[in-house]
Structure 1
Amino acid sequence: MAPGANIGEKAAIFEAVHGSAPDIEGKNIANPCALLLAAAQMLDHLGMTEKGTAIRQGIRTVLETRRDMVTPDMGGTGTTNSFAQALVEYVQSH
């Protein structure tokens, strides 16, 4: 769940900090949190802090309340897609 950012004078790159995990490729069980948190960092960097905050709050809420939507590595029974859908529902409703 570690996001990363490389910010220079003329460019910035935001990414998830982890390996490629070829053992779970195509299984729809990858945890999307690091990539989503990197996206939130990018939004903050672009001055869209309210949107970045909404993503972070949504991730926290899904992790705390929607175990059926959370990927197995985080103790849930959900999929990458179900986590994303739960996050979208949270952000749209707030």
Structure 2
Amino acid sequence: MEEEAAAAMDVTLSLNPEVEKGLLARAHARGVSLDEYLQEIVAREAGLPAAEDLPAHKRFDNLSDLLLNSPFAGANLDLERCKDYPRPVEIG
């Protein structure tokens, strides 16, 4: 049985500046390009399984990809650890 090769389809969108700005902001918040973000939206609307439905080990090739695509990437969180001061130890 012969496999069919998947052919890419190019689509041109004419977006007003406000829509483009909003989509760009959402894409950057997710840590992806506008093209990748639009691919996700179209795939979701086409009923294809989302990347989030896959296990983490299949979604990301390495730790760097996982960290860069974290939901908190680009959130500019200012997290501070509690100081853990040494405790006195009884010797002897």
Larger fraction in strand: 1
TM-score scaled by structure 2?
A: 0.26
TM-score scaled by structure 1?
A: 0.25
Q: Which structure ranks higher in relative contact order (CA pairs < 8 Å, sequence separation ≥ 6)?
A: 2
Higher CA-based Rg: 2
